[in-house]
C-alpha cells in the first residue's frame, strides 16, 4: 500500500511539473511576431517564463483546456487562409479572466475554424495576469491596439484587405474586443513604428459570452468605461441566459450599440453556461459558429 501511494504521488507530481514546464508554442509553419520589439510598456526588466496551468479540472467536451499564464512578452501568430481566401482577417483574443489565456479552446481551435471558412486568423497572446479590464490596467488594451495596427501594416504581405480586419473575443477577450471597439481613436502608448500611423479600429467584431460589460457590483449597470458611439464597428453577440458571468453583459452592450445606431446581431440561448469555445456538445449554443459564418459572409 505504501509503495502504491508513493508511485501515485510521483505520477501526480510529475504531471504537475510537466504542466508547469510545457508552455504552449505556436504551430510549426505559422508566423509569430513580438508585439513590442523593445519590450512592452511598463513590463518588468526580468520577466519570468510563461506557465502552463492546464489541469483536468477545466475540461470542456471531455478535453482539457490549455491555460497559458504569466504572459509578459505578448505576440501575434498568423494562421493564413490557404485556399480561396476571402480577404477577411480576424484578430482573436482568448478569454481567461485576464488571469490566463485559454489558448487552444478560444484561440487555436478558433483559427482552425476561420481558416476552414477561408478567413485569415491572427491569434493574440496578450499580457496576463492582472492586466484588465481597462482602465484597471492598460496592458491588454495596449496589446490589442498594437496588434490591430500591426495586422494592417502587414496586410499586403499577408494577402489581407486592410478594410476587412475584425476582432473575435471570448469572455475577458470579449470585453477586450468591445474595449478596442470603443477605444481606437487614441493609442494608450507612444509610437513604436509605422504601425501606429494606421487605424486600430476593428472593421467588425464578434463578442462571445463577454464579461466586464455589465457590473455585478453595481446591480448590473453598463460599464461606463465602454463608450459606445456611432463609430463602433458592426457587432455579433452570442451568450446563454444561464451564463454564470451574466447574460446582461451581451444585453446591455447590444442595447448601447443599437442606441448609437451601430448594426448589431445578438443570439441568446436558454442553456449553455460559460466557456464552451467551439467544442460541440448536445447544447445548440455550441454550434454558434454556423451563425457567425453567415454573419461574416454578409458583411460589406
Exposure string of 261-284, with b = 16+ CB inside 10 Å and e = fewer, is ebebbbbbbeebbbbbbbbeeeee
**How would residue 21 be classed by pLDDT, with cut points 50, 70 and 90?**
very low
C-alpha pair distances (Å), 120 with each of 111, 198, 236, 264: 8, 19, 18, 22
126: closest CA among 194, 51, 68? 68
Residue 16: its pLDDT value, please? Answer: 41
pLDDT, position 15? 41
pLDDT in tens, 38-64: 999 987 655 555 677 666 667 898 899
The pLDDT of residue 146 is above 60: yes
Q: How confident is the model at residue 24 (pLDDT cuts 50, 70, 90)?
A: confident
> Domain 2-298 in CATH: superfamily?
Alpha/Beta hydrolase fold, catalytic domain (3.40.50.1820)
pLDDT digits (tens, 9 = 90+) for 173-191: 999 999 999 999 999 999 9
The grid coordinates listed for 135 are 482602465
- Sequence spans of domains, the chain: 2-298
> What pLDDT does 85 receive?
87
Percentage, residues of the chain above pLDDT 90: 81
pLDDT above 60 for 2: no
For 169, counting Cβ atoms within 10 Å of its Cβ (0-12 exposed, 13-18 middle, 19+ buried), the class is: buried
**Phi-psi label, residue 272: left if phi above 0, alpha if psi -120 to 50, beta otherwise:** left
Closest to 149 measured CA to CA, from 107, 180, 118: 180
Single pTM value for the model: 0.90
For the sheet containing 67-69, what is the strand order? 51-52, 67-69, 101-102
pLDDT at residue number 68? 95
Amino acid at each position: 500500500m505504501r509503495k502504491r501511494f508513493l508511485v501515485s504521488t510521483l505520477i501526480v507530481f510529475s504531471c504537475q511539473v510537466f504542466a508547469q514546464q510545457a508552455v504552449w508554442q505556436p504551430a510549426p509553419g505559422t508566423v509569430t511576431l513580438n508585439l513590442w520589439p523593445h519590450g512592452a510598456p511598463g513590463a518588468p526588466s526580468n520577466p519570468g517564463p510563461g506557465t502552463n496551468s492546464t489541469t483536468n479540472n477545466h475540461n470542456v467536451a471531455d478535453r482539457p483546456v490549455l491555460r497559458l499564464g504569466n504572459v509578459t512578452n505578448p505576440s501575434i501568430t498568423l494562421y493564413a487562409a490557404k485556399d480561396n481566401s476571402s480577404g477577411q482577417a480576424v484578430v482573436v483574443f482568448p478569454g481567461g479572466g485576464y488571469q490566463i489565456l485559454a489558448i487552444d479552446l478560444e484561440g487555436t481551435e478558433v483559427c482552425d475554424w476561420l481558416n476552414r471558412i477561408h478567413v485569415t486568423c491572427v491569434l493574440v497572446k496578450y499580457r496576463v495576469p492582472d492586466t484588465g479590464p481597462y482602465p484597471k490596467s492598460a496592458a491588454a488594451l495596449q496589446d490589442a491596439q498594437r496588434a490591430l495596427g500591426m495586422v494592417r501594416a502587414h496586410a499586403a504581405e499577408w494577402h489581407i484587405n486592410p478594410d476587412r480586419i475584425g476582432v473575435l473575443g471570448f469572455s475577458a477577450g470579449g470585453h477586450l474586443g468591445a474595449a478596442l471597439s470603443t477605444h481606437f481613436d487614441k493609442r494608450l502608448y507612444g509610437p513604436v513604428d509605422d504601425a501606429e500611423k494606421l487605424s486600430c479600429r476593428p472593421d467588425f467584431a464578434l463578442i462571445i459570452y463577454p464579461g466586464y460589460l455589465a457590473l455585478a457590483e453595481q446591480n448590473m449597470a453598463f460599464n461606463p468605461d465602454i463608450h459606445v458611439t456611432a463609430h463602433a464597428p458592426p457587432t455579433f453577440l452570442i451568450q446563454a441566459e444561464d451564463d454564470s458571468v451574466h447574460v446582461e453583459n451581451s444585453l446591455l452592450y447590444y442595447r448601447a450599440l443599437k442606441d448609437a445606431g451601430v448594426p448589431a446581431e445578438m443570439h441568446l440561448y436558454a442553456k449553455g453556461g460559460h466557456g464552451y469555445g467551439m467544442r460541440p456538445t448536445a447544447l445548440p449554443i455550441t454550434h454558434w459558429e454556423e451563425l457567425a459564418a453567415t454573419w461574416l459572409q454578409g458583411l460589406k
